[in-house]
Amino acid sequence: MRFEHHLFVCENRRDPADPRGSCAARGGEAVRAALKAEMKRRGLEATTRVNAAGCLDACADGPTVVVYPEGVWYGGVKPEDAAEIVESHLVRGHPVERLRIKRFR
């Protein structure tokens, strides 16, 4: 396997008038930047990949992050959550329960 973990961060942007909103408008780009910075700080870049994604079809829960291979979905993620996701989930193997999207569990 190329990477131990692969994170997809929704950065989809919709017209501000669209009632669905979008993860970009809720800060998805800053979330991806924070996750990437945390990976770099910990030297995990060789084993973990963080990619921008289009709409992951969980718009109401955004900003949305999905972690594979586990298929764990996080919603309402903020940049300040990045360190906890990396430490708890990626390093210690314990998903951050408080951030999981309940309907996808």
Q: Is the peptide bond before 95 cis (omega within 30 degrees of 0)?
A: no
Q: Does 7 bind ligand FES (CB under 6 A)?
A: no
Using CB under 6 A, count the residues that bind ligand FES. Answer: 11
Among 7, 9, 23, 34, which residue interacts with ligand FES (rule: CB under 6 A)?
23
Angle at the Cα of 77 from the Cα atoms of 20 and 66, rounded to 5 degrees: 85
Considering only residues 70 through 99, tell me which ones interact with ligand FES, judged by CB under 6 A: none
* Residue range at the interface with ligand FES (CB under 6 A); choices 38-46, 59-67, 76-84, 95-103: 59-67
**Stretch near ligand FES under the rule CB under 6 A, chosen from 36-44, 56-64, 83-91, 97-105:** 56-64
Distance CA 76, CA 101 (A): 9
Interaction between residue 64 and ligand FES (CB under 6 A): yes
Instruction: Answer whether 11's CB lies under 8 Å from 62's CB.
Output: no
What CA–CA distance (Å, rounded) separates 94 from 26? 26
